[in-house]
Structure 1
Amino acid sequence: MPPAPVGPGDTPVRCATVEDLARVRERLAKVEGGHDNLRDGLNTLSVQFADLRRDLTRAVADNAAQTRREIMGRVDDLTDTATARDTEISARLARIEGGLKLTSWVSMTFIVLATGLLGWGQVGDAVWSLCRRALGYGP
Structure 2
Amino acid sequence: MTDPRYATAEEVAVVRERVAKMEGGHDNLRGDMQDLNRQFSDFRRDITHEVQENAIQTQQKISEMNDRSSQRDGEISERLARIEGGMKLTSWVTMTFIVLATGLLGWGQIGDAAWSFCKRAFGYGP
The Cα offsets for residues 4-34 of structure 1, whole Å up to 9 and x where unpaired, read as xxxxxxxxxxxx7xxxx4x766666655554
Deviates more, 1:69-78 or 1:33-42: 33-42
Match of 1:117 among 104, 107, 110: 104
Aligned runs of 1:44-123 on 2, under 5 Å? Answer: 44-123=31-110
The code of the aligned residue for 2:42 comes to D
Determine which structure has more spread, i.e. the larger CA radius of gyration. Answer: 1
The code of the aligned residue for 2:29 comes to L
Higher RCO structure, 1 or 2 (CA under 8 Å, sep 6+): 1
Quote the RMSD (CA, aligned, Å).
2.2
Structure with the higher fraction of residues in helix conformation: 2
CA distance in 2, matches of 1:35, 1:134: 142
Structure 1: unaligned runs, 5 residues or longer:
1-15
2:114 alignment counterpart:
127
CA distance in 1, matches of 2:33, 2:41: 12
Deviates more, 1:110-119 or 1:44-53: 44-53
Q: Kindly, what percent of the aligned residue pairs are identical?
A: 43
The Cα offsets for residues 72-104 of structure 1, whole Å up to 9 and x where unpaired, read as 222222222222222211211111111111101
TM-score by length of 2: 0.78
The code of the aligned residue for 1:87 comes to G
